[in-house]
Structure 1
Amino acid sequence: MTLSAAVSSPQPVDAATVAEIFRRFEAANPEPRGELDYTNPFTLVVAVALSAQATDVGVNKATRALFKVADTPEKMVALGEDELREYIKTIGLFRNKAKNVIALSQMLIERFNSQVPRTREELELLPGVGRKTANVVLNIAFGEPTIAVDTHLFRVSNRIPLSIGSTPLAVELGLERIIPARYARHAHHWLILHGRYICKARKPECPRCLINDLCRFEPKTA
């Protein structure tokens, strides 16, 4: 991932502006939610792992039937890789993802007593689970104030700018330093949703933006 045209200013906004940005996000959407469907921490891990290079809508269509028959590690292993591929074949990279889901299910059974671990380090041991996936699971399943940097959040953070960085990790660590504690749990949801529906990559909808007057991104759209 590169910054390309995302960076609009050499200096991030100040602390008071950061606080006002998140105050407005909270006022508009007090309880933001991720858009992946899941029924428990295990199905959340699977859904997030499947969502890499795929849309949430596409993943939800595939997992709607899958999670009815395989909502535990044991059921997923029993389903097997061949059958799993049939459920998720509409998702990009489905063959490799099926392999990883079976492997992570097996690891959960053998190493974690079929329970999804609650630390980033342990989550990242699971096949197909990287830092972003681990952060999503920690945040949504366990209420941890983690920040999962996807392409939307990366773009928004660099545009405003909040945390400027050339890598997702740099942006994540920068945001952790500046986001007020009261907003930390929901911060990544607000930024992701803002990037997905308002601050779009090709044509941001600046007239609809509730932080238009605080954002330094240029050129804004009319």
Structure 2
Amino acid sequence: MAQGLRLVLFGPPGAGKGTQAQLLRDRFDLTHIASGDLFRHHLGQGTPLGLRAKEYMNKGELVPDEVTIDIILDEVMSIRDDDGFILDGFPRNPNQAQVLEKKLSAESRNLDKVVHIDVSEPELLRRLGGRYVCRACQAPHSIREGEEVKNCDQCGGELYQRDDDAPVAIKKRLAVYNEETSPLLGFYRSRGVLVDVSGDNTVDEVNKQVLAALGA
């Protein structure tokens, strides 16, 4: 496999999907579509799709699948047929997966692989509990337990921990993932495109597993 790959990176919060997506993007010259970044872009730019999402968010409601799907598919379908992409953070449930599959199939652009990065819960709790972000440049930092929280090593800005990286919030996020997103394993396994890699290892070791799973 080489350029033109169409991939989904799938795994729990803290699995390292974003890091692996960036490595694959650079190696294969793919477009990295991160659902969170895409949402922030549409909200910040006040696009029609962003305004639709904001209506629900302002009411304290979850953004419905149909809006999320429209935001992601708008980006996916803007990519040329002979170019590839990596989906990171989407799909999150079988309904989204089915809509994505139908849309891609209609354009003869089926997914090549869905990479499932599996990480043990103790390791996820350790990683997420030590995750800090720079207030100024938003660069992520990993702080080990007992280690002093210093300033950003990129811009010198203050580091802080997001509310959803607090221990109680982490366990809730993992519970939601297990309930809503884990069923995707069966969906993609039945399609013959799912590959499993262990995410408990270092970034380089995980990347070697991912590349091997892709036959690269």
Both structures adopt the same fold (TM-score exceeding 0.5): no
Q: Which has a greater percent of helix?
A: 1
Larger Rg: 1
TM-score, normalised to structure 1's length?
0.28
TM-score (norm 2): 0.28
Structure (1 or 2) with the greater strand fraction: 2
